[in-house]
Chain A
Amino acid sequence: MITYVLRRLLSIVPLLLIISVFTFVLLQYMGNPLSFYLQGNVTAADLERLTKQFGLDRPIVVRFADWLAKIATGDFGASLVSGRKVTDLIATHFPNTLILMGTAFALTIVMGIPLGVLSAVRRGKSADYAITTVSIISFSAPTFWTGILAIVFFSLWTRQRGLPYLPSGGMYDFVEGPSFAGIARHLILPASILAFSMLARYVRYVRSSLIEVLSQDYIRTARAKGLREWRVLFKHGLKNSLLPVVTIIAVDMPQLMGGSLITEQVFAWPGMGRLMVDHAARADFPVLMGILVFVALLVTLLTVVADVVYTFIDPRVEYR
């Protein structure tokens, strides 16, 4: 087991190397690392000085080795816009993204599994059709659009009518300052919208997985020996059909992060996605580079964790 985990962890190394080559080529070779400065008034002499200062006159291989050595020690440099260290920026923004993603994810599971079960049990009935229709909408509606609509209905319109309303953006009230209740209130809309965007996949997955499991022989046996239907369904059926969900959680990680980027933008949630969009618009390369590498590392690590967890909970999977 330990060797398996170690081997999986080791397999991350070539992956990260490829990712860093990507990022480097993208930002240092295809893009002009000085484009941030080109936005203002610069003379040719300034440019030459900057080129020297950033070491851009060195061969590309040397620059890559230098850059790789730096990020390997966790040094992503500083933001060109604010001068703050990239690691600091990520450290302050990532927890907010984690709050949003975690809540959205919990909501997805809490709503997705019962809806999937209901859909499978009432297969072909009106409840199934209703749930499937909602899933299709959830699957096809762009997050930014459902987000805007949610703001219009639950924030602006209700406020106009003097009804209780939800905050339209931000993470807490600037007057009140951050508090648990305040953050929770601000979290309702973005987390629900993000959860809604992921809901379809889980509903569909649980539905088809449960339908498949329920057609197995051991379910027939369980029924034949006179177990109550809910016991057959939950103890024997659901337990087995939920195992593979762990795998989609891992596969879904990039999507969840992408979705949260857009949601953060719609709801002005001060997370990593917003950090990324803000700094992308201003060609702040060190920040972009840091976020890319960080996100890639996170996703790869989580995939490994999901794989390992999966072999733990499903004894049928053998690890080699």
Chain B
Amino acid sequence: MTPAARPAADSARPTAADLPPGTDAAPSRVRSQRPGRRALRAFLRNRLALVGVVLLTLIVLAVIVAPNYVPASLAVKPNPRQMLSSPSAQHLLGTDEIGRDVAARLLYAGRVSLPVSLSAMLIALVTASTLGIVSGYFGGWLDQLLMRITDALLAIPAIFLLLTIAAVMRPTVTVLVVVIGLLAWMDLARIVRIETISLSKRDQVEGVKALGAKNFRILFRHILPNIQGPLLVAAPLIAGRALLTESALSYLGLGIQPPTPTWGNMLNQAQQFALSAPLLAVAPGLAIMITVIAINFVGDGLRDAFDPRRS
């Protein structure tokens, strides 16, 4: 997305922050013309994006309410009399190699995998916007250093670094989340940096600078609100990638460790039993794929909605 292609309304829009305290912010008539509203309308017209939203809502709801209907013991307690049983009324998706209910494990794994990717996404967003803004706004040697670090991190495939970190620290879930997040910000930081550079050259920012506004205030009031678009567009993509990364790592046996179920580590053992109990391998993969597809639908919808060239 080239900054120049953004609508002029974006930069010309009056900022409530510059009005004296007590004055009401922009009147609603002006607000309805904001790019945010236009993007929301475009998003709601996108059928695939809505499918994504509905799917995601269903998945998240199922995972949230699971403990009310499915006892956790079904997901974690081995049951030697029920090993590798095929689907039945009692076990909708059958049981795994030590007799745990696959459907219950899927739900409880979602309670790990989804928050993990969501928090990793938040960490990546915060890192990317902080470093991108700082780099773009202040420039100079700091910019050089930060961008070289970005390049360096981009040059090593994330999974190689993650494996090394997993080997070094045997990470807990929290550490894993932080690490996945800290390896997912680079592309976005570059975008944010470019946006910041172009924003800080605009009259709006030059103007408040001339009025003596502090850097901190400029960054928070004038730069940050204007990079919401790229952040929103990137967020789902990062979350989807984080989910895939976590599951890949857990599949390799170096991510989240059993007995905590995640969609990735459920597949770790499934390979051996794939012929006798195919659902064991199919179900977690499907869960990952459907979630990522839904996330990507939402992401595509957001991208189209925020890209003024398509309409």
Taking Cβ atoms with an 8 Å cutoff, the residues of A that contact B are 14-15, 18-19, 22-23, 26-27, 30-31, 35, 136-137, 139-146, 148-149, 151-152, 156-157, 160, 254-255, 257-258, 261-262, 265-266, 276-277, 279-281, 283, 285, 288, 291-292, 295-296, 299-300, 303
Contacts and interface: CB of A to CB of B under 8 A. Distances in A.
Contacts of A35: 168
Given A141-B289, A148-B271, A27 B155 contact: no
A264 B81 CA distance: 35
Contact of A299 (B155, B161, B284): B155
Given A258-B158, A281-B253, A295-B157, A144 B248 contact: yes
B156 A15 contact: no
B275 A160 contact: yes
A79 B168 CA distance: 16
A299 B151 CA distance: 11
Given A19-B155, A145-B267, A156 B148 contact: no
Contacts of A160: 275
Interface string B158-172: 111101111111000
B79 to A, nearest CB: 24
B160 A265 contact: no
Tell me whether chain B's interface is mostly helix, strand or loop, or mixed. helix
Nearest to B254: A280
Given A148-B281, A281-B254, 15 more contacts: A22-B153, A141-B288, A142-B248, A142-B288, A254-B155, A254-B157, A258-B160, A261-B160, A262-B159, A277-B254, A280-B163, A285-B168, A288-B163, A299-B156, A300-B155
B91 to A, nearest CB: 21
B173 interface: no
A295 B281 contact: no
B156 A148 contact: no
Tell me whether chain A's interface is mostly helix, strand or loop, or mixed. helix
Interface in B118-162: 148-149, 151-161
A30 B163 contact: no
27 contacts: A15-B151, A15-B152, A15-B155, A18-B151, A23-B164, A27-B164, A136-B293, A137-B289, A139-B292, A141-B285, A144-B247, A148-B270, A149-B285, A152-B275, A152-B281, A157-B275, A160-B275, A255-B157, A258-B159, A261-B159, A276-B163, A283-B167, A283-B168, A285-B168, A295-B156, A296-B156, A300-B155
B293 A140 contact: yes
A257 B288 contact: no
B267 A288 contact: no
Most buried by B among A139, A160, A279: A139
B252 A30 contact: no
Given A151-B271, A152-B274, A144 B251 contact: yes
A136 B296 contact: yes
A102 to B, nearest CB: 17
Given A15-B155, A18-B149, A262 B275 contact: no
Interface string B206-231: 00000000000000000000000000
Which 3 pairs from chain A and chain B are nearest by CB? A31-B168, A145-B285, A258-B157
A18 B285 contact: no
A89 to B, nearest CB: 15
Nearest to A291: B160
B244 interface: yes
Most buried by B among A26, A255, A279: A26
Contacts of A281: 167, 253-254
Contacts of B285: 141-142, 145-146, 148-149
Contacts of A277: 163, 252, 254
Contacts of A157: 275
Contacts of B261: none
B247 A257 contact: no
Nearest to A27: B168
B282 interface: yes
Contacts of B94: none
A234 B254 CA distance: 47
A254 B168 CA distance: 21
B99 interface: no
A283 B167 CA distance: 5
A211 to B, nearest CB: 12
A1 B254 CA distance: 46
A175 B301 CA distance: 53
Interface string B243-283: 01001100111100000000010010011001100100110
Given A156-B275, A255-B157, A281-B253, A142 B247 contact: yes
B84 to A, nearest CB: 15
A140 B244 CA distance: 8
B296 A140 contact: yes
Contacts of B154: 254
A26 B162 CA distance: 11
A176 to B, nearest CB: 24
Given A31-B169, A136-B296, A280-B167, A145 B157 contact: no
A265 B168 contact: no
A142 B160 contact: no
A288 B164 contact: yes
Contacts of B240: 140
Most buried by A among B159, B247, B289: B159
Contacts of A26: 161, 164-165, 168
A22 B149 CA distance: 9
Most buried by A among B156, B161, B289: B156
Contacts of B152: 15, 18-19, 22, 296
Contacts of B289: 137, 140-142, 145
Given A145-B285, A149-B281, A292 B296 contact: no
